[in-house]
């Protein structure tokens, strides 16, 4: 039986006069786009243009909310905001993306937390529950894209949200199933062929290769390539080619409600 998997990318991360990544080229390859909501990157015009470009190609879109951290691109670990304040920030971002997508006739399908927020919530039950409450407050029908073996996955399942299990083609994993810190040498995989082999192990063979040699079972619904990583388009193209060569269909894990 043919396996189906989604290929997603974080994008819409340009801001004003500054360009980040090659979204146009990436949208020709992927099936789902996670669009920045203005707190770590992006702005209303970039959000609009990204949604319209995705709509033209039949690529599903979702919100990619983060800590309020333009200076650090959402990759600084921010501690101190109350759960209530962070929940309000997340609701604001998710609702903004949902409103823009609805206005453009391409309703969003999901939410995926960005950067430090996503990494911290994966290991912090309270933070994970805050993320889940924010999504549920806006729209319980939205899919929550989560890491396997994470507190976010557990919290989403407990709250009854639909989840899509995500693995990363361009990142290595620790023995507990978490992403290796970007501060560690080799945490980001830059070679397209190595990324493809890494992703095939997770999608086709059903395990996460970890830095200590442990193989963690996984059922991946979607594979991510970071749009801001150098060579990201080449990596995404290699992934798609490799999946298709193995008889793996590339399709969105969810489609807009208009279809």
Query: Stretch 171-183: mean pLDDT, rounded?
Result: 89
Comparing C-alpha atoms, which of 219, 196, 65, 63 is closest to residue 148?
Answer: 219
pLDDT of residue 208: 94
Environment class of 22 (CB within 10 Å of its CB; exposed 0-12, middle 13-18, buried 19+): middle
pLDDT of residue 21: 86
Residues whose CB falls within 8 Å of the CB of residue 19, separated by 6 or more in sequence, listed in order:
none
pLDDT of residue 1: 40
Query: Stretch 143-166: mean pLDDT, rounded?
Result: 97
Model-wide pTM > 0.85: yes
Which pLDDT band holds residue 76 (cuts at 50, 70, 90)? very high
Tokens at residue 74, please? Answer: 């959402």
Q: Which residue has the higher pLDDT, 161 or 225?
A: 161
pLDDT in tens, 97-153: 999 999 999 999 999 999 999 999 999 999 999 999 999 999 999 999 999 999 999
Q: Is the pLDDT of residue 59 over 50?
A: yes
For the chain, the domains span 4-250
* Average pLDDT over the chain, rounded to an integer: 93
* Domain 4-250 top-level CATH class: alpha beta
């Amino acid at each position: 039986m043919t396996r189906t998997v989604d290929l997603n990318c974080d994008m819409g991360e340009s801001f004003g006069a500054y360009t980040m990544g090659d979204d146009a080229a990436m949208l020709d390859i992927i099936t789902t786009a996670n669009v920045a909501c203005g707190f770590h990157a992006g702005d209303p015009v970039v959000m609009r243009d990204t949604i319209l470009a995705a709509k033209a190609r039949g690529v599903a879109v979702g919100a990619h909310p983060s800590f309020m951290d333009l200076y650090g691109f959402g990759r600084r670990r921010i501690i101190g905001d109350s759960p209530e304040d962070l929940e309000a920030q997340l609701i604001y971002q998710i609702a903004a993306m949902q409103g823009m997508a609805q206005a453009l006739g391409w309703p969003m399908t999901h939410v995926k937390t960005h950067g430090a927020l996503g990494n911290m919530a994966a290991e912090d039950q309270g933070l994970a529950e805050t993320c889940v409450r924010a999504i549920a407050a806006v729209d319980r029908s939205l899919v929550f894209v989560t890491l396997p073996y994470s507190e976010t996955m557990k919290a989403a399942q407990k709250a009854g949200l639909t989840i899509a299990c995500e693995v990363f083609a361009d990142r290595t994993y620790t023995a507990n199933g978490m992403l290796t810190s970007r501060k560690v040498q080799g945490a980001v995989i830059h070679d397209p062929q190595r990324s493809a082999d890494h992703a095939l192990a997770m999608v086709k063979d059903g395990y996460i290769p970890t830095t200590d040699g442990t193989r963690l079972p996984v059922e991946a619904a979607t594979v991510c390539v970071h749009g801001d990583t150098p060579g990201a388009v080449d990596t995404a193209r290699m992934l798609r080619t490799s999946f298709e060569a193995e008889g793996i269909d590339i399709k969105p894990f969810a489609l807009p409600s208009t279809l």
